[in-house]
Amino acid sequence: MNAKDIKISVGDITVIAEIGESLTARKIWDALPVDGTANRWGDEIYFAIPVKIEEEPNAQEDVQVGDLGYWPPGSAFCIFFGPTPASTDEHPRAASPVNIFGHIKNDARVFQTVQSGSAVRVERSGGPQ
């Protein structure tokens, strides 16, 4: 897999994430940079992006801390960093299936302090791509 790095910034929080080679990852990569307004749903941040993708065959509701997902019904970029209202344990669970396209390289729990309404920017990370 030929992964690419992206930078996600919310206020004074910046993390690097790796995205893969799925159709979802490629379409999001091609759309970067994107700006959005964070919405909190438990320990998930999501925001609409200008990308339309159908649910992929391997879309899933059960995800891991640090996963990046695309939620087709809302054209939303999702960052999972802990339990959500749909969770049955300490793991995140999406509201409905998401296309997992990447993973945060460092501790995703830094997003705990982000409030709904915060500005979010996602861009390609520096270095060779």
pLDDT digits (tens, 9 = 90+) for 30-70: 999 999 999 999 999 999 999 999 999 999 999 999 999 99
Give residue 92's pLDDT: 98
Strand residue runs (E) in the chain: 4-10, 13-19, 34-37, 39-40, 44-48, 60-62, 67-71, 76-80, 93-104, 119-124
- For residue 128, is pLDDT > 80? no
Q: What is the pLDDT of residues 90-118, one digit of tens each?
A: 999 999 999 999 999 999 999 999 999 99
pTM: 0.94
- For residue 5, is pLDDT > 90? yes
Give residue 1's pLDDT: 38
Domains in the chain, start-ordered, CATH in brackets?
A: 4-124 (2.40.100.20)
Give residue 24's pLDDT: 97
